[in-house]
Chains A and B, each alone.
Chain A
Amino acid sequence: MKIGVVTFPGSNCNADAEFGATITGNTAVRLWHKDTSLPSGLDAVILPGGFSYGDYLRTGAIARFSPIMQSVIAFANDGGIVFGICNGFQILCESGLLPGALIRNEGLSFVCKDVHLRVERTNSPFTGALTAGSVLRIPIAHGEGRFTAPADVINEIEGNNQVLYRYATSDGSIAAAANPNGSINNIAGITNARGNVMGMMPHPERACDPLLGSTDGVSVFASLALELSSR
Chain B
Amino acid sequence: MKTYTASIIVSLRRAILDVQGKAVENALHSLHMQGMANVRIGKHIELDVLAPDIDTARATVEEACAKLLANPVMEDVHIDIAEKAAGASA
Contact = CB atoms under 8 A, between A and B. Distances in A.
B73 interface: yes
A103 B74 contact: yes
Interface of B: 12, 15-17, 19-20, 23, 68-69, 71, 73-74
A65 B71 CA distance: 14
Interface string A133-173: 00000000000000011100100000000000000000000
A57 interface: yes
A94 B69 CA distance: 11
Given A101-B73, A108-B19, 4 more contacts: A100-B73, A104-B19, A105-B19, A148-B16
Chain A, interface SS category: loop
A174 to B, nearest CB: 20
B73 A182 contact: no
A93 interface: yes
Interface of A: 57-58, 61, 65, 93-94, 99-101, 103-108, 148-150, 153, 182
5 contacts: A57-B68, A94-B71, A104-B20, A107-B19, A148-B16
A52 to B, nearest CB: 14
In this complex, which of A58, A107, A153 has the most chain B Cβ atoms within 10 angstroms of its Cβ?
A58
Contacts of B19: 104-108, 182
A211 B25 CA distance: 44
A148 B74 CA distance: 8
Nearest to B13: A150
Contacts of A101: 71, 73-74
Given A103-B12, A108-B23, A182 B71 contact: no
